[in-house]
Amino acid sequence: MRTLLNRPFSFSVCAAIAVSFSAAASAEAQTPNPAGSNAPKFGVGVVDIPYVFKNYDKFRATSESMKKEMETIDADVKAERTNIAKTEQLRNTFNAGSAEYKKHDEELARMMAEFQLKTTKLQKDFMERQAKLYYQTYLEVVDAVSVYAKGHNIGMVLRFNGEPVDPNKREDVMRDINKQVVIQDRIDITPDVLLLLNRESQPRTAQPGSQLPPR
C-alpha cells in the first residue's frame, strides 16, 4: 500500500525538478516513505511507472480534457452519420435507375467518402496526440526519477509493477510471472517520485494536498 500526496505538475526537464527538490526534501523528512526506506542503503530503487501515470495529476487532467474533446467530436460524427442515413433513406424512395435515384446516390457516395476521410483523420490526429502525451509524461517521470535518485545516492532504478494479482485473470498471472523484479525489500521509490512530480505542478498559492487512498 502507498500513501501519496496528490498534486498537479508543470515542467518537463530535470532542471525544473531540481529547483523544487530542496523544498520537497524537507517535507520528505517529515513524512518518510517506508516503502523506499532501504533504497539509499542499497543504492537501488524500483518505480511503478503505470501507477505513477494513473496518479499523476497533470497526466490525468490532460487525459480527461482529451476525453471530453473526443466526446464532442463523437457527437458531431454521430450527427453526420444520421444525415448520411437520411440521405440513403431518401434515395431509396425513388426507383432504381431514375434520375432522382442517381442524383441522391451520387450525393450519398460523396457524403460517405468525405465522412470516411474525416473520421480517419480525426482518429489519426487523436492517436498522435495521445502518443505525444504518453511520451512527454514518460520523459517527465524519468526526469523526476533521475533527480530523486541522484539526491539519495541511488545508482540504479528498475521498473516494476505493484498491482495486486488476480489469480483468476490470465493476464494478471502472466504479468506476475514475467515481471523483472521478483522481490524488493523496501526500495520502492514510487511514492517519492509521484510526490516530486505532483508537487512541482501545484499552483504556487496552493496549500499542501491531501493524501491519496492506498491502492
pLDDT (tens digit, 9 = 90+) per residue, 76-134?
A: 999 999 999 999 999 999 999 999 999 999 999 999 999 999 999 999 999 999 999 99
Question: Can you give the pLDDT at residue 200?
Answer: 77
- Within 13 Å, how many C-alpha atoms sit on residue 137's CB side? 25
Indicate the pTM of the whole model.
Answer: 0.75
Distance from C-alpha of 113 to C-alpha of 72, rounded to nearest angstrom: 22
Contacts of 53 (CB under 8 A, 6+ apart): 59, 134, 137, 141
One-letter-per-residue 3-state SS of 127-192: HHHHHHHHHHHHHHHHHHHHHHHHHCCCCEEEECCCCCCCCCCHHHHHHHHCCCCCCCCCCECHHH
Confidence band of 59 (pLDDT split at 50, 70, 90): very high
pLDDT (tens digit, 9 = 90+) per residue, 145-195?
A: 999 999 999 999 999 999 999 999 999 999 999 998 999 999 999 999 999
Distance from C-alpha of 176 to C-alpha of 182, rounded to nearest angstrom: 9
